[in-house]
Copies of this chain bind each other. A is one copy, B any other.
Amino acid sequence: MKYTIAVIPGDGIGPEVVDQAKKALDAVAEAYDHIFLYKEALLGACAIEKTGYPLPQETIDICRNSDAILYGAIGDPKYDNDPSARIRPEQGLLQLRKELDLYCNVRPVKAYDNLIHNSPLKREVIKGTDFLVYRELTGGIYFGKKEVSADGKMASDVSVYTVDEITRITHLAFKAAQKRKKKVTLVDESNVLETSRLWRKTVTEIAKEYPEITLEYLFVANATMQLITNPKQFDVILTENLFGDIISDEASVISGSKGLIASSSIGEENALFEPIHGSYFEAKGKDLANPLASILSAGMLLQHLGLNEEADAIERAVEKSLALGITTKDIKRKIQNATTTSKVGDFIADYITNQD
């Protein structure tokens, strides 16, 4: 099959980690007989530099016409250190998500055996952990009406959700669970919030269409406890925007492999795949950044295209590189043989090509 992939290297270490992800994709293309047509586009600080805008129209067009978007990293310390800067790199990504209506954020959390020792949690608590967080990304309190009284003595924020907003992400979460351990955990605060009660009612109703999936419910505070005390219980966590921000960040540190976390932002027409790490400017061009999160983003991208076997090949290659310690120096292992960004990419591509 032939697929058009919008490639946005972005800022800092973005270009070099995306290059490794492309190596993995090229190896997949050859091994499984696909064609990946890459269309490169600008976003973030590099786009401001070249065009004056963090999100040029051409980038939007390329993304719209793609089967999937592979994205590196965003941000430049030059803007962070200038609070008066009116145009900021990050605006580009937020605007792109909005343009493409990417309403569903997915983050996998997985305890890799060879990295468990990096977790702040005990081995027996974390071992075997493997779940996805589905976070609604376009509604809730972040986007509701915000007010400050005239005298500045009172402020308010409104959280709003509609059945339609809840419905579309719920189907995605249940479909993901179908291919996994067949369990969805809805995280809400339905004991007090009307929006949470609407979530619970809507999700409970939709669950009837998926009789093979077990639906559980957790209040958000309890969920933050369960993530620490028993993370293995989860398969797919489904939640609204603010709770998802909290849960997915908390979850990102429990496995001890934060540097390996990929994510996707999915809409009806488009989907974007990126590592959760930043642009790590200090490492730019030094061939020492960890490319595994970017490579795993490419794996999520393949899964999104329905290429499950191909996605598994990437996942297995990453596990092998961790097992053999063919990793960059940020991954602390007892036996340390740190290698470079590009050599990790070469190993992954090679393993995909020659796997038995």
| Chain A interface residues toward B at CB < 8 A | 120-122, 125, 141-142, 144, 146-148, 152-164, 189, 192-195, 197-198, 220-222, 224-225, 228-229, 242, 245-246, 248-250, 252-254
Contact = CB atoms under 8 A, between A and B. Distances in A.
Nearest to A189: B242
Nearest to A231: B120
Contacts of A248: 221
B221 A141 contact: no
Residue from A148, A189, A225, A248 having most chain B Cβ neighbours under 10 A: A225
Task: Please tell me how many copies of the chain the complex holds.
Answer: 2
Contacts of A163: 152-154
B156 A159 contact: yes
A162 B153 CA distance: 6
Nearest to A151: B163
A47 to B, nearest CB: 22
Nearest to A250: B224
Contacts of A120: 121-122, 125, 228-229
Contacts of A153: 162-164
Contacts of A220: 245-246
A122 B153 CA distance: 44
10 A-B pairs with least C-beta separation: A221-B249, A155-B198, A224-B250, A155-B194, A146-B194, A156-B160, A120-B125, A225-B253, A153-B163, A157-B193
B156 A158 contact: yes
Given A156-B159, A162-B153, A163-B153, A224 B249 contact: yes
A144 B156 contact: yes
Contacts of A164: 153
Contacts of A121: 120-122, 228
A192 B155 contact: no
Contacts of A122: 120-122
Contacts of A158: 156-159
5 contacts: A120-B125, A142-B193, A155-B194, A157-B159, A225-B249
A248 B222 CA distance: 10
A79 to B, nearest CB: 15
Given A121-B122, A122-B120, A246-B220, A195 B155 contact: yes
Contact of A195 (B157, B229, B253): B157
Nearest to A126: B120
Contacts of A249: 221-222, 224-225
Nearest to A201: B152
Nearest to A242: B189
A250 to B, nearest CB: 4
Contacts of A252: 225
Nearest to A248: B221
Contact of A246 (B125, B148, B229, B246): B246
Nearest to A119: B122
B242 A228 contact: no
Given A153-B163, A160-B155, A224 B246 contact: yes
Contact of A160 (B154, B198, B221, B225): B154
B225 A193 contact: no
A222 B258 CA distance: 13
A161 B153 CA distance: 8
Nearest to A193: B157
Nearest to A148: B194
